[in-house]
Amino acid sequence: MDPRLSIIEERLKDVKRVIAVAGGKGGIGKSSVSATLAIVLARAGHRVGLLDLDICGPSTHVILGIKGVYPTEDKGIVPPLVHGIRFMSIIYYAGDNPSPIRGADISNLIIELLTITRWGSLDFLVIDMPPGIGDPTLDVIRFMKRVEFLVVTTPSKVAIETVRKLVKMLAELGIPITGLVENMKMPSSLGIGQSLEPLGVPLLGGIAFDEGLEQAVGDVEKLAESCFAQELTAALRRIIDERGGESHV
Amino acid sequence: MHEWALAEGVVATAIKVAEREGLREITEIRVKIGELQQTDMEVFEFALKEIVRLQSALLRRARFLFEHEPAVLKCRVCGTEWAFKDALKKLDEEQSESIHFLPETAHVYVRCPNCHSPDFEVTKGRGVWLESISGEK
Ligand SMILES: [Zn+2]
């Protein structure tokens, strides 16, 4: 028996909501959404954790300009508090090096991270997921019983097609989907509402392509004030305004 | 894996098994420990003692037996097999520390000695395994 599996739920017992930010493919701004959501939640007064599970391409630390901080050891690993966020990522251990990890080892690494990390008491744990429905997505579903998914897509047909598969799988497994966010919305786009409507997932809102976002990478102040953050806040108003004391059903 | 997390996991799993099997008392827990995570046995045993102390009578008299398994790596590209302890000699303290916390980061720092590929599997000596639990009903 793997002794790690008995402890993951225990690690999350004081976390009120676990929100996995996922998408069907790469390059849709999933990491920007995760990182910005964490910042917006922290600034709204919530206790927030951010877990970067994009093992082969972690990037939330770049978006948030996180460097020079490390977890501390205290009967496990306590993630450092940066910009008001408890931040955990493979980068503490892999540094700037590539992490060529695959298959069962990806699962082992995710189990390990979930086992050693002591989040403490949180209102929200935001997880930046790698794209698609591979091992990490299945692992998160397997090990984090209370996870809900926030699905990100762009108006591109390819992105919508892949997100449709993700949503279908989540629905089949009975995993709650908080809703869809349309990123890089273009003025001409008809909106993805229609094309994804049959799936029955609520479209929470759209975020226009923000040219200023690239300028804000690595600068939390700029990021928090960007149009991107404002539109994301509008789209996720219901989540962000949730009273800390209320439990999620 | 970090020793405390590991110890917590071992105790929690043992309790689960004892409940499932209807054991009144656990007398022996056998744990197999892979070399890859370089578990500090002193810290691990101390953590186990501390955690057991907080537990019910179920575990008070339990004896822990440890079996250590050396880690063997096998290249997926050229088939070369080598011992983790040989790879370890080439790593600095920080790299070896990273592997201690997250064993899979071995793929970040270790390369096949023959073809330099990072694409290898850990065929032996990865992970920690609860081998068996004995007790009295
Ligand atoms: Zn090789």
Over the stretch B98-115, which tens digit does the pLDDT of each residue have?
999 999 999 999 999 999
How far does residue B46's CA lie from ligand 1's centre (Å)?
39
Mean pLDDT over B56-62 rounds to 86
Q: Do A100 and B107 touch (CB under 8 A)?
A: yes
Integer Cα distance of A79 and B54 in angstroms: 25
- Arithmetic mean of pLDDT over chain A: 91
pLDDT at A191: 64
Task: Tell me, yes or no, if B77 comes closer than 8 A to chain A by beta carbon.
Answer: no
Residues in chain B with CB shorter than 8 Å from the CB of A92 are: 98, 101
Instruction: Categorize the per-residue pLDDT at B128 as very low, low, confident or very high, splitting at 50, 70 and 90.
Output: confident
Q: Report the predicted TM-score, pTM, of the whole model to 2 decimal places.
A: 0.94
Q: Do B5 and A105 touch (CB under 8 A)?
A: no
Q: Do B126 and A108 touch (CB under 8 A)?
A: yes
% of chain A at pLDDT higher than 90: 74
Integer Cα distance of A120 and A118 in angstroms: 6
Residue stretches of chain A with pLDDT short of 50: 245-249
pLDDT in tens, A173-190: 999 999 999 999 877 666
pLDDT at A118: 96
Of A27-41, A192-206, B43-57, B120-134, the range with the lowest mean pLDDT is: A192-206
Long-range CB pairs of A56-59 (<8 Å, 24+ gap) are A56/A98, A56/A99, A56/A100, A56/A101, A56/A130, A57/A26, A57/A130, A58/A89, A58/A90, A58/A91, A58/A94, A58/A99, A58/A128, A59/A31, A59/A128
pLDDT in tens, A153-170: 998 889 989 999 999 999
Distance from CA of B77 to the nearest CA of A (A): 14
Q: Do A73 and B108 touch (CB under 8 A)?
A: no
Contact partners, residue B51, CB within 8 Å, separation at least 6 = B7, B8, B11
What is the token pair recorded at B91? Answer: 């790593």
Size of interface A-B (CB pairs under 8 A): 100
Which residues 14-33 on chain B approach chain A with CB closer than 8 angstroms? 16-17, 31
How far does residue A40's CA lie from ligand 1's centre (Å)?
46
Interhelix angle B3-21/A103-116, nearest 10 degrees:
90
